[in-house]
Chains A and B, each alone.
Chain A
Amino acid sequence: MLGSDLVMYDEEFKLIDAELQRLLQQANAKVVFLVDKNGQLIAATGETENLDTTSLASLTAGNIAATGGMAKLLGEKEFSILFHEGARDNIHISIIGQRVILVVIFDQRSSLGLVRLRVKKSAEALGSIFSQLLQKVETEKGSGKSADSPFAEITDEDIDKLFG
C-alpha cells in the first residue's frame, strides 16, 4: 500500500503534547490541536471539554484538502496557511512538514499577529519531532521489529468481538 501508515510512539507523543501546550500558552489561545492530513486527530490541548475534536479534525482535513485542490488549479503547491475569522472565535490553520495540520483556536484575548508568530516557532519544533518520528518508524520497520504489535496475533474472533 502507498506510503507508510502513521505511527505514534509514547516518546514523540509527549514531545508533541508539550509543544502544543507551550504554543497554547504563548499564543494565548483557547485550543490547539494537531491533525493528520487524512483527518485523524493526533493531539489536542486547551479548552477541549465541550469541543467535538474528532469532527473538527475531519473537517479541518477536508478544508485543507479542498484548498489544496484549489491551489493546484492555480498552479500553487499549496496554501500553507488558512485563517477563519468569527464573531467570537477565530481559527488559524497551517500545514507542517506537508503531512500534519496545526490548528489554533483563539478569541479576543489574543491576536492574529501573535498567533502567527508563535505558530511559526512551534512549526519548526513540531517539524523536527515528526522527522524524528518518521525516522524511528523506518528503522523499526527495517529491523522487522513489531514486538507489541496489536495485529500480529489477531484472529477472526477478535474482529467479530468488535461488533459485540
Chain B
Amino acid sequence: MSFINYSSREINCKIVFYGPGLCGKTTNLQWIYKKTNPDSKGKMISLATETERTLFFDFLPLALGEIRGFKTRFHLYTVPGQVFYDASRKLILKGVDGVVFVADSQVERMEANIESMENLRINLAEQGYNLDKVPFIIQYNKRDLPNVVPLEEMKKALNPRGLPDYEAIATDGTGVFDTLKAIAKLVIMELKKGQEGG
C-alpha cells in the first residue's frame, strides 16, 4: 500500500524481505545501509534478540531520488524468519507493495526455504494478497558457501514461474543492490499500472 502525497510531492512504498531463519534478510539491509550515502537514508532500526535474531522487524527508510518531481522513498522491512514468530510476520506484511524472498542456498536449508515460501503465500492470502499478483522477486543467498544447491535446482524448487531472481552473497554485497533495484522497479511499474487502471 503505497502512500502518494501530492501536497509534499512524495511517494512512499513498502518492501518486505521474507525468508527462513538465518537466510540473510537482516544482512541484506545492513549492506544497503552501509553502502547508501547518509543523505539518502534514515536510521536503521533492528528489533532483535540478544543473539541478533530478528524479533519483530528491521526497518530501513531509503530516499532514492526523484521521479517526475516526486521524492521517492522506500521503506525496507525484514520479517523474523524463525518459525514461531509467525504472528509478527503477518503484521509486517500489512500494506506491503513488494516482496523479496531471500532463500538460503545451503543444502540443509532447502526444506526451510520451501516451507517459508509456502508460509509467505498463506500469510499474504490472509491479508487479501495473492502472491502471484504482488511484485515479487527471489534472491538465492549465501552462494559463497561450499554446500550450496546448484542454481538450476533452486530455481526449479523456488521459482517455477521464472520470476526475476538473483544470486547473492549478502555478507560481501554481491547481488544485494541488483535485488533492491529489481524490486523497486517492479513496485513502481505496478503503481503505474494501478494508475492506468483508473
Contact = CB atoms under 8 A, between A and B. Distances in A.
Nearest to A148: B6
A55 B194 CA distance: 28
Contacts of B194: 1, 5, 151
Contacts of B189: 154, 159
A82 interface: no
Interface stretch (B20-28, B41-49, B136-144, B145-153): B41-49
B107 interface: no
Interface residues of A, number: 47
Interface in B44-100: 45, 47, 56-57, 59, 61, 64-65, 67-70, 72, 75, 87-88, 90-92, 94-95
A5 B198 contact: no
Interface residues of B, number: 53
In the complex, which of the residues B70, B95, B185, B192 has the most CB atoms of chain A within 10 Å of its own CB atom? B95
Contact of A40 (B69, B70, B75, B91): B75
B114 interface: no
Given A152-B192, A154-B192, A164 B65 contact: yes
A6 B177 CA distance: 27
A129 to B, nearest CB: 13
Contacts of B184: 159, 162-163
Contacts of A8: 3-8
B128 interface: yes
Nearest to A72: B87
B163 interface: no
A42 B6 CA distance: 12
Contacts, number: 143
A93 to B, nearest CB: 16
Contacts of A149: 195
A42 B5 CA distance: 8
A69 B123 CA distance: 14
B196 interface: yes
A163 to B, nearest CB: 6
Interface in B121-167: 127-129, 133-134
A80 interface: no
Contacts of B59: 39, 55, 58-59
Interface in A120-164: 141-142, 144, 146, 148-154, 156, 158-164
B67 A159 contact: yes
B30 interface: no
B72 A1 contact: no
Interface in B92-114: 92, 94-95
19 contacts: A1-B1, A1-B134, A6-B3, A8-B3, A8-B5, A8-B7, A42-B5, A55-B42, A55-B43, A62-B56, A65-B94, A149-B195, A150-B4, A151-B67, A151-B188, A154-B189, A156-B185, A159-B185, A162-B65
Interface of B: 1-9, 11-12, 14, 42-43, 45, 47, 56-57, 59, 61, 64-65, 67-70, 72, 75, 87-88, 90-92, 94-95, 127-129, 133-134, 177, 181, 184-185, 188-192, 194-196, 198
Interface of A: 1-3, 5-10, 12-14, 36-40, 42, 52, 54-55, 58-59, 62, 65-66, 68-69, 141-142, 144, 146, 148-154, 156, 158-164
